[in-house]
Amino acid sequence: MSTPSPADVMRRRPAGTGKGGQFQEKLNDAPVAPLAATPPTPADDDFLIPDLVDEIPEYVTAEDERLRAEYRDLWKRLNAKHRSSTYGEAGRLSTTSTDPAELAVLSQLQAPGISLNVAQNPATPGPVLHMLAVGESDFRDPEVRRAAVAHPNCPEATIRIVWAHRRVLDYPGIGKTAVPSAPNTPTDVLDDAAAEGDETAAERLRTVAL
């Protein structure tokens, strides 16, 4: 089943454009009606939709852009012929390759199990794991996103972005389960998870305090 990423719901904001995270809704060029002097009173059956995405600090947004740029650079290292041969050996290379460029190419291959193999490959670098966890994809399996977050090479910024989106679409299954147990989850995120009742995060904090 396809699992959208945050970018499938909200469009990206330029770095540092303020509260509400790094994504914004798609702009509409249609004329806008003047605002009413007072907002309408909600009907009894109406409900207010809370802000589902936590604010993402500017430095995390900047790191997200850097990781994406590094990922694009990895793709450029392989010419078309090399990429073709990499696809032909996808099953083997996804588990055995230590070449960052090959792993970047394989991470986006729409074939059963390949992206999960890449997410679990010990040699997979941070930029590739970042894209596996939070990149735009119509086919990304939540298991792949969870594996990327749990990887020892997963960047801290990736974990922060996933945690900020833990209440959006498929992210409850990732942010609220994978992040508290991920090896690179920072202490302040563990604090937040523990405050929300996560026992794994609470236990890790107790261990750190010893």
**pLDDT tens sequence across 50-105:** 567 888 999 999 999 999 999 999 988 887 778 777 878 888 999 999 999 999 99
Residue 162 belongs to domain spanning: 55-166
Q: Does residue 179 belong to any structural domain of this protein?
A: no
Q: Which pairing describes strands 23-24 and 11-12: parallel, antiparallel, or unpaired?
A: antiparallel
Rounded to whole angstroms, how far apart are CA atoms 86 and 21? 36
Q: Does residue 102 belong to any structural domain of this protein?
A: yes
Q: Does residue 147 belong to any structural domain of this protein?
A: yes
Q: Does residue 35 belong to any structural domain of this protein?
A: no
Q: What is the tally of structural domains in the chain?
A: 1
Cβ atoms 148, 5 nearer than 8 A: no
Q: Does residue 86 belong to any structural domain of this protein?
A: yes
**pLDDT tens sequence across 152-171:** 999 999 999 999 988 886 66
Rounded to whole angstroms, how far apart are CA atoms 104 and 108? 7
Instruction: Tell the burial category of 196 from Cβ atoms under 10 Å away from its Cβ (0-12, 13-18, 19+).
Output: exposed
- Tell me what percent of the residues of the chain surpass a pLDDT of 90: 51
pLDDT of residue 169: 62
